[in-house]
Amino acid sequence: MKRIKYVHGGFTASEISLGCMRMGGLSVTEADRVIQTAIDEGIDFFDHADIYGGGSAEEKFAEALSAYPGARVKIILQSKCGIRNGQYDFSKEHILSSVEGILKRLRTDYLDVLLLHRPDTLMEPEEVAEAFDILHNSGKVRHFGVSNQNPMQMELLGRYLNQKIIANQLQLSITNTGMIDAGLNVNMRNEATINRDGGVLEYCRLKEITIQPWSPFQYGFFSGVFLGNEKFPELNAKIDEMSKKYGVPNTAIAIAWILRHPAKMQPIIGTMNPQRIKDICKASSIEMSRTDWYDIYLSAGNKLP
């Protein structure tokens, strides 16, 4: 497994991470197998959120990990907070109480990374900064980031923070390429030219903020997977062609396509199937060509101006 560098975090991590949203529905034995498979494949970065399974995902992960003394210091734990029923909440009180709950459920003294889960338009950045200072100075959170935020939202927050934003979790897959499309269609009068996120891809590259693509196999907003889907015949034909060319499963091609981008992103995979984890991790061994990358992009229905 290749590794990526978190420039502002001062650490490296596996270039593929495991999202644990679905872990709450597993038995401890099943969760153990998932975690061990991921580690065996070179994954050392695990992504959580306080809302996943109502906290059960974090609890199940911790219970399974407890069977391996000393494992905590060998992995990177990330969790997210800020989503409540029917609202977002970046208040100081909510952030602090959320982290206390996360640490308790994960049975750890600290988080390596804490992300703010989606933007809160009622955010008071001074309050967030106070919460982050308390968490950082107490050793409860080492690094901070955001999810689904545009450049100006990060600029506003960063003005008050004493820590660098090291990550931004954003939706990206072969069929969800908005952040890429706008940059390829500059100065054009078509749908793809609409800049919906303020140039977040280029901003994160400039600021050395690691993009963590979520739902890398989904199309739409959790509409389903595109692999093997009859709605995407041309795309699947091309992916199958690439699978044969590179000698890996189609899931690995979908992830290798993301890894090929020079932004050095870290896709988050959410499968709880050990064999699927093994298949996906083969993406790290692929050096996809520029031509193959564009061929896949175009086969998804995208057009170049």
Domains of the chain: 3-299 (3.20.20.100)
Q: How far apart are CA 225 and CA 30, in angstroms?
A: 23
DSSP 92-150: HHHHHHHHHHHHHHHT-S-EEEEEE-S--TT--HHHHHHHHHHHHHTTSEEEEEEES--
Give me the pLDDT at residue 239, please.
98
Give me the pLDDT at residue 223, please.
86
The whole model's pTM is what?
0.97
Q: Which residues of the chain have pLDDT under 70?
A: none
**pLDDT tens column, 76-125:** 999 999 999 999 999 999 999 999 999 999 999 999 999 999 999 999 99
Give me the pLDDT at residue 212, please.
98
Residue type, 164: K
Dihedral angle computed from the Cα positions of residues 200, 1, 296 and 215, in that order, rounded to the nearest 10 degrees: -50
Question: 3-state class of 277 per DSSP?
Answer: helix
Report which DSSP code applies to 209: P
The residues annotated with a catalytic role in the active site are: 52
Question: 3-state class of 269 per DSSP?
Answer: strand
Structure tokens at 35: 């975690």
